Every structure is written in C-alpha cells, then in structure tokens.
Amino acid sequence: MTFAQSFAWWSFAEAPQQVPDLLARAAQVGMKGVDFLPRDLWPQARDLGLELVVIDGHESIETGFNDPAQHASLSDQVRRSIELAHVEGVHHLSVMSGDVVALDDEQAVAVCAEALAPLAEEAEQAGVGLLLEPLNTKVDHPKHQCNSTNWAAAVVDRVGTGSLKILYDVYHMQLMEGDLLRTIDANFDRIGHFHTAGVPGRQELDCHQEVNWNAISEALRARGYKGFVGHEFIPREDPVHALRQAFEIFHVQPASE
C-alpha cells in the first residue's frame, strides 16, 4: 500500500477559475481526501468517497500555544475539535504555535509542549492525530514563531507521543530552509502529513517553480510512507487540470493496473 492524495479546499476556493463540482471532479482525478473542508460539505465529500484528512483544531493561526495566556481557550477549542473529529472520522487536527509574543524560541517550545502534551494524549485515545505545522516567515506569515522543521520537531519530541506529528509543508520549508530530501528523511517518523505547492508563487506543480516533485514522491515511496500528501496550492488556471497534474506526479499505478 502506498500513500494517498488529498487537496486543500481553501486554496482551490481562492483560484481565479472556480469549478462548481470540484469535489466530484477531484474524486474522478483520483483524490482520496480533502483538507480543511467546510463542515457543510462533509456529507457531499463522504458520498464521493473522500476522506476528511485535516481540519483546524482551533480558530486562529496567529494565536497559538506559544502564549500561556491563551492555553485555556485554545485547549477548550482543541478538545471540542477532538470530539468532533472522533465522531465524524476526521484523521487530523491542525494546531499552531502562533505569532511571536514575549517568549524566545526555547521558552516557546517548552510552553507549546506543556500545553499540547495532555491534548495529544486525549487525541490518541480518540484515534485522532494532531499536526503542528511550521510556516514560512519570508512571504506569508512574517510573525509566526514555528518557522522551521527543527522548531516543530523539538515540540514533537518533548510531547513524546505518536499522536502529535509535524505537518510538513514543502512550500513553506523550501522557502525557509531548503534541504528538503535530507530533512524529510531525518524527520520521517515525526511527520504525519505532507502539503505541496509550487515555489515560488504557491501555484501549480509545474515547470515554473523550483522543487523536484518527482524526487519528493520517490523519497516518500522509498520510505514506505502510508499517510496523505495534500495539495495546498492556488491554481493559476484550470483547477481540475492542476489537480490532475499534481496527482500524476505522486501516483504510481500498481503492476496489476
């Protein structure tokens, strides 16, 4: 069994060209799941055989677990999301460090881990994963504190449970640090989900950007990755064509097909 593919609803919702039946068209392309899908569309996704791969665990990217003053509110939000995910069959919840407040990185890692540890235990009991995502501060999230693989890995290691892992977004980490294949290999057991998007521009996985997606695909397959690769880009042109293009990069047909 190899990995499956999903796509992020929010990014395709921002595409210049809109496809009214995008969920159905994505399923026809071969997508097996969808990330960050609005709740009113969950029944439609299920009817099409699409799994709910990731949803937000709490409301804000900017307000996160690096701020002790927010721990009670954020923990309540994540606990409600864990319950919802357990009932509705959602695989993962996204959790964030938040923008920089008063703490330096070492302190913020410790504070995040302290708050996330009990939530990770509760998520594990519910059969739900938590994903901590490092974001780029060069283009999209200039104040975000978790902005490297090592930062997220430090929190994951401190929490020490398999239910908290890294959401490794190749777009963000190519902008911040590069060295993608070695970093993925070194942190493979810490990673629970992958996101793609072309660099630069956060657009299609095509010849207009710099990442060797075939090499990424082969590296995941060689390591026996069995999770999801989610495509989180904003297509310049036809969204269905862009999804098909991304799908083909990461899809290898079994010998029997």
CATH of the domain at 25: 3.20.20.150
The contacts of residue 11 (CB under 8 Å, 6+ apart) are 197, 202, 232, 233, 234
Domain that holds residue 72: 4-250
What is this structure's pTM? 0.96
Number of domains in the chain: 1
Q: Which class for 254: exposed (0-12), middle (13-18), buried (19 or more C-beta within 10 A)?
A: exposed
Residue 255: inside a domain: no
Q: Coil, helix or strand for 191?
A: strand
Residue 256: inside a domain: no
Judge whether 230 and 6 are in contact, CB under 8 Å: yes
Task: Give the DSSP H or E segment for 166.
Answer: strand 164-169
Kindly list the catalytic residues.
133, 232
Query: C-alpha dihedral over 80, 81, 82, 85, to 10 degrees?
Result: 130
Per-residue pLDDT of the chain (257 residues; tens, 9 = 90+): 579 999 999 999 999 999 999 999 999 999 999 999 999 999 999 999 999 999 999 999 999 999 999 999 999 999 999 999 999 999 999 999 999 998 999 999 999 999 999 999 999 999 999 999 999 999 999 999 999 999 999 999 999 999 999 999 999 999 999 999 999 999 999 999 999 999 999 999 999 999 999 999 999 999 999 999 999 999 999 999 999 999 999 997 544 44
Residue 179: inside a domain: yes
Q: Checking phi first, is residue 215 left (phi over 0); if not, alpha (psi -120 to 50) or beta?
A: alpha
Is the peptide bond prior to 200 cis by the omega test (within 30 degrees of 0)?
Answer: yes
